[in-house]
């Protein structure tokens, strides 16, 4: 496609989808999308039209207000058209609006009237000789619907005008917004839900639906409110010279004009008020979607006049959209430090809630399937407050023919090891834990830890420097560090002595136990206890490495998923390369105690409270050496609880479950009997 036809096609597509949603929204009162999403589509079209005015389509919705009168209500032509306001979305646009105003009013003092922009339905009210004779919806701005019978049911709206301060005008046309306060909306929805009736998506639609009821009794039951925002006609003239004063003048007749209302001396002050209100809008009793900024002087308003269908003297300053539309350029897989693969959507950068978003996590493959998101898709990106942005919805309407489906990669993008995802797990992982560059830091940290290879001194600062010098690609390189003594000495604050201490600790760690070595490999699901069980069961590393899933599952403490992780680990060739090197550099261990000498094999024990003769860790090790599995919580499967001083809830639970409890003396006696003391 040429660029021209692409732009035209894009415009057609936007017009079609807007028309569809417009119909659902205005005519059916059943919004199919969020207002902010509609706004995004609308502004995308408007932006295209501004850039390429030569392609503007005849049926574009951007130059009309939207909404057609329903056939069942009488149509009324507005004596003064009900126009819409232009929008600004940021400070820059606001200041540009002010500049345009100032240029047309040189050397004049300009004050701005700032009001809440209610998210409701604009209506027009006619009063003749002080009596409400007609209420009309905005409709398309030229023609609206006669909803007088429903308007009369709105409680805070005066049906007859009387004032102690002055006479009542012969003709008064007041404009304002009908809306449903949040509390009333929630109550209405709760009641409807209880009755099994339709609930409303938001207060705006509840208000619109209520106003369009043919039966005024229903409208009367709805908690609607009216807030005046202007006077279209007044005979004789009310005599006020400013917007704010004329609104104030209306209040004497009982009209409500909204909670927050400011007069600002500068556009900077307007910006300040906007930020204040945006920060506290959640606490307001009504939904608002921005602020309305008007030049306060009615004389100046007249001087400024209109540009096409929008007044030059007013604009709507919308709050930042929390949702925006954009396209997915690509979906990458990121490997986390523990090997999890996370899909990340690379987006065409888009502003959402005042922040530019170009990457969004899709969490996992399940989320990709749930959203059915493909590369090339148009998506809504949502963000609220400080919450990280997320893809809320995919627009299949915009899906290009060449959109690409996304599958879980078979190989890790970092190290090409197999990607695995045992059944029942939500996250896919790289199985090359010992080799994968993404998992390197975590693998080393774990490998050197006390209960693993116990290499004292190889702390995070060393590791960082060694990675920087490119001396550690994986854990096997630890045992080659002695070949790089000169380089080690170049590391800041590492003198001869600390380098020697480190190399000694590394050398010393070569003598270990099979259990510690298995644990050190960092196989998923294989903690310290499981590693010990595996060592006891298989006796040699080769036997473990060659075990099938059934054999693994017979090991106490090893379930289906852990067994699968172990198999996956040994199936990743790169892991085997590292293991081979580790064994070649001389890591060795004594044969573990044969299972026949493990009288507590497979039993579950718990150690709690304070022991006077040893720490809980030591007691745990004694029990583990005898084959027991030491757990942190008591259950009915617990064989015995060793309770020291100040044993608390675990002791109580053991007593409740009738689990055997041993005090310290009994425990020491048992250990002595087994030759452990």
Nearer to Zn ion, 219 or 420 (CB): 420
**Minimal distance in Å, beta carbon 97 to Zn ion?**
53
Is 415 a binding residue for Zn ion by CB under 5 A? The answer is: yes
Give the containing element (helix H, strand E) for 622: helix 616-625
H helices of 123-281, where? 148-151, 182-194, 203-211, 216-221, 243-251, 267-280
How far is residue 143's CA from residue 137's CA, in Å, rounded to a whole number?
Answer: 8
Q: CA-CA-CA-CA torsion for 668, 672, 673, 675, nearest 10 degrees?
A: 140
Is 298 a binding residue for Zn ion by CB under 5 A? The answer is: no
Nearer to Zn ion, 210 or 439 (CB): 439
Piece of 57-65, 165-173, 423-431, 637-645 that binds Zn ion (CB under 5 A): 423-431
Range 476-479, long-range pairs (CB < 8 A, 24+ positions): 476/578, 476/581, 476/582, 476/585, 478/444, 478/447, 478/448, 478/506, 479/506, 479/510, 479/581, 479/582, 479/585, 479/586, 479/587
Q: Tell which positions 203-232 bind Zn ion, by CB under 5 A.
A: none
**Minimal distance in Å, beta carbon 364 to Zn ion?**
17
Nearer to Zn ion, 434 or 488 (CB): 434
Cβ–Cβ under 8 Å, residues 322 and 352: yes
Nearer to Zn ion, 438 or 668 (CB): 438
Nearer to Zn ion, 392 or 416 (CB): 416
Piece of 162-170, 265-273, 320-328, 424-432 that binds Zn ion (CB under 5 A): 424-432
Q: Which of 225, 323, 341, 430 binds Zn ion (CB under 5 A)?
A: 430
Piece of 395-403, 406-414, 537-545, 650-658 that binds Zn ion (CB under 5 A): 406-414
**Minimal distance in Å, beta carbon 407 to Zn ion?**
17
**Minimal distance in Å, beta carbon 344 to Zn ion?**
16
Nearer to Zn ion, 91 or 340 (CB): 340
Is 362 a binding residue for Zn ion by CB under 5 A? The answer is: no
Beta strands in 518-668 (DSSP E): 588-589, 604-608, 629-631, 640-643, 660-662
Pair of tokens at residue 105: 């009013």
**Minimal distance in Å, beta carbon 433 to Zn ion?**
8
Nearer to Zn ion, 247 or 414 (CB): 414
- Give the number of other CB atoms < 10 A from CB of residue 235: 10
Burial of 338 from C-beta contacts in 10 A (0-12 / 13-18 / 19+)? middle
**Minimal distance in Å, beta carbon 335 to Zn ion?**
5
Phi then psi for 422, rounded to 5 degrees?
Answer: -55, 150
Of 661, 635, 556, nearest to 602 by C-alpha is 556
Is 572 a binding residue for Zn ion by CB under 5 A? The answer is: no
**Minimal distance in Å, beta carbon 574 to Zn ion?**
8
Q: Which of 328, 414, 455, 531 binds Zn ion (CB under 5 A)?
A: 414
Phi then psi for 666, rounded to 5 degrees?
Answer: -65, -40
3-class SS of residue 321: coil
Cβ–Cβ under 8 Å, residues 85 and 311: yes
**Minimal distance in Å, beta carbon 334 to Zn ion?**
11
Of 571, 633, 580, nearest to 608 by C-alpha is 633
By residue count, the chain amounts to 677
Number of residues that bind Zn ion (CB under 5 A): 7
Nearer to Zn ion, 258 or 432 (CB): 432
Is 611 a binding residue for Zn ion by CB under 5 A? The answer is: no
Piece of 128-136, 258-266, 271-279, 415-423 that binds Zn ion (CB under 5 A): 415-423
Of 90, 117, 98, 119, nearest to 292 by C-alpha is 117
Query: Residues 621-650 vs Zn ion: string with x where CB under 5 A?
Result: ------------------------------
**Minimal distance in Å, beta carbon 343 to Zn ion?**
15
Measured CA distances, 253 to 147, 177, 505 (Å):
21, 17, 89
Piece of 86-94, 112-120, 411-419, 534-542 that binds Zn ion (CB under 5 A): 411-419
Among this protein's residues, is 299 annotated catalytic?
Answer: no
**Minimal distance in Å, beta carbon 504 to Zn ion?**
32
Nearer to Zn ion, 432 or 592 (CB): 432
Beta strands in 362-496 (DSSP E): 378-382, 390-395, 419-420, 428-430
Pair of tokens at residue 313: 């003297």
Nearer to Zn ion, 417 or 555 (CB): 417
Cβ–Cβ under 8 Å, residues 538 and 558: no
Beta strands in 236-339 (DSSP E): 261-264, 288-295, 306-307, 310-311, 314-318, 323-335
Please write down the HEC assignment for all residues of 72-112. CCCEEECCCCCCCCEEECCHHHHHHHHHHHHHHCCCCCCCE
Piece of 287-295, 344-352, 434-442, 658-666 that binds Zn ion (CB under 5 A): 434-442
Nearer to Zn ion, 430 or 518 (CB): 430
Q: Which of 463-476 are b and which e, b meaning 16 or more Cβ less than 10 Å from the residue's Cβ?
A: bebbeeeebbebbb
Report the DSSP beta bridge partners of residue 608: 643
**Minimal distance in Å, beta carbon 405 to Zn ion?**
23
Nearer to Zn ion, 379 or 412 (CB): 412
Is 412 a binding residue for Zn ion by CB under 5 A? The answer is: yes
Cβ–Cβ under 8 Å, residues 189 and 252: no
**Minimal distance in Å, beta carbon 440 to Zn ion?**
10
Tell me the longest C-alpha to C-alpha distance in the chain.
Answer: 110
Is 432 a binding residue for Zn ion by CB under 5 A? The answer is: yes
Angle, in degrees to the nearest 10, between helices 91-104 and 267-280: 150
Piece of 120-128, 238-246, 263-271, 414-422 that binds Zn ion (CB under 5 A): 414-422
Give the containing element (helix H, strand E) for 345: strand 340-352
Piece of 8-16, 91-99, 116-124, 425-433 that binds Zn ion (CB under 5 A): 425-433
Counting runs of H as helices and runs of E as strands, what totals does the chain give?
24, 26
Query: Residues 436-455 vs Zn ion: string with x where CB under 5 A?
Result: x-------------------
User: Among the options 8, 68, 109, 117, which is catalytic?
Assistant: 117
List residues binding Zn ion (CB under 5 A): 412, 414-415, 417, 430, 432, 436
Q: Which residues are marked as active site?
A: 117
């Amino acid at each position: 496609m040429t660029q021209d036809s692409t732009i035209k096609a894009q415009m057609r597509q936007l017009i079609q989808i807007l028309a569809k949603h417009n119909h659902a929204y205005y005519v059916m009162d059943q919004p199919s999308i969020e207002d902010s999403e509609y706004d995004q589509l609308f502004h995308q079209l408007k932006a295209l039209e501004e850039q390429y005015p030569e392609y503007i389509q005849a049926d574009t919705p951007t130059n009309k207000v939207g909404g057609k009168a329903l056939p069942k209500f009488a149509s009324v032509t507005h004596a003064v058209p009900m126009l819409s306001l232009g929008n600004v979305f940021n400070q820059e646009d606001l200041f540009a609006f002010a500049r345009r105003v100032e240029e047309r009013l040189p050397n004049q003092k300009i004050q701005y009237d700032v009001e809440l922009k209610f998210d409701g339905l604009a209506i027009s009210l006619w009063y003749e000789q002080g009596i409400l004779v007609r209420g009309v919806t905005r409709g398309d701005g030229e023609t609206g619907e006669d909803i007088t019978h429903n308007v009369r049911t709105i409680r805070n709206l005066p049906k007859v005008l009387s004032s102690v301060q002055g006479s009542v005008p012969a003709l008064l046309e007041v404009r304002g917004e009908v809306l449903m306060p949040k509390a009333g909306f929630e109550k209405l929805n709760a009641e409807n839900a209880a009755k099994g009736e339709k609930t409303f998506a938001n207060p705006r639609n509840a208000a619109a639906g209520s106003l369009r009821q043919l039966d005024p009794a229903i409208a009367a039951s709805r908690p609607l409110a009216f807030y005046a925002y202007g006077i279209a006609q007044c005979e004789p003239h009310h005599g006020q010279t400013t917007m704010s004063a004329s609104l104030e003048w209306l209040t004497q007749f009982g009209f409500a004009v909204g909670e927050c209302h400011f007069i600002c001396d500068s556009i900077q002050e307007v910006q300040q008020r906007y930020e204040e209100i945006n920060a506290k809008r959640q606490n307001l009793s009504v939904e608002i979607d921005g602020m309305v900024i008007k030049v306060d002087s009615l004389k100046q308003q007249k001087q400024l006049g209109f540009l096409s269908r929008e007044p030059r003297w007013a604009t709507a300053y919308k709050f930042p959209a929390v949702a925006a539309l954009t396209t997915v350029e690509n979906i990458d897989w990121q490997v986390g430090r523990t090997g999890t693969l996370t899909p990340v959507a690379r987006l065409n950068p888009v502003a959402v809630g005042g922040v530019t978003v170009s990457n969004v996590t899709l969490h996992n493959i399940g989320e990709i399937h749930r959203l059915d998101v493909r590369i090339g898709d148009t998506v809504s990106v949502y963000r609220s407050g400080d919450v990280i942005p997320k893809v809320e919805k995919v627009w299949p309407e915009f899906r290009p023919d060449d959109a690409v489906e996304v599958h879980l990669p078979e190989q890790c993008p970092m190290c090409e090891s197999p990607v695995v995802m045992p059944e029942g797990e939500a996250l896919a992982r790289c199985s090359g834990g010992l080799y994968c560059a993404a998992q390197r830091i975590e693998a080393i940290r774990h490998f050197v830890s006390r209960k693993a290879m116990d290499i004292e001194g190889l702390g995070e600062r060393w590791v960082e420097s060694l990675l920087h010098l490119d001396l550690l690609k994986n854990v096997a390189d630890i045992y080659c560090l002695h070949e790089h003594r000169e380089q080690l000495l170049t590391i800041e604050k590492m003198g001869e002595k600390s380098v020697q201490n480190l190399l000694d600790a590394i050398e010393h760690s070569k003598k270990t136990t099979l259990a510690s070595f298995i644990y050190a490999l960092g196989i998923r699901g294989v903690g310290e206890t499981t590693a010990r069980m595996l060592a006891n069961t298989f006796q040699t590393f080769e036997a473990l490495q060659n075990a099938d899933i059934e054999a693994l599952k017979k090991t106490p403490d090893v379930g289906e998923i852990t067994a699968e992780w172990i198999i996956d680990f040994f199936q990743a060739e790169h892991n085997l390369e590292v293991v081979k090197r580790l064994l070649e550099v001389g890591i060795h261990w004594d044969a573990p105690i044969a299972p026949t000498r493990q009288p507590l094999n497979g039993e579950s024990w718990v150690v709690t409270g304070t022991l006077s003769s040893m720490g809980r860790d030591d007691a745990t090790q004694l029990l583990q050496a005898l084959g027991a599995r030491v757990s942190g919580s008591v259950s009915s499967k617990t064989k015995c609880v060793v309770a020291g001083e100040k044993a608390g809830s675990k002791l109580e639970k053991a007593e409740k479950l009738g689990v055997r409890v041993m005090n310290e003396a009994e425990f020491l006696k048992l250990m002595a009997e087994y030759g452990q003391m």
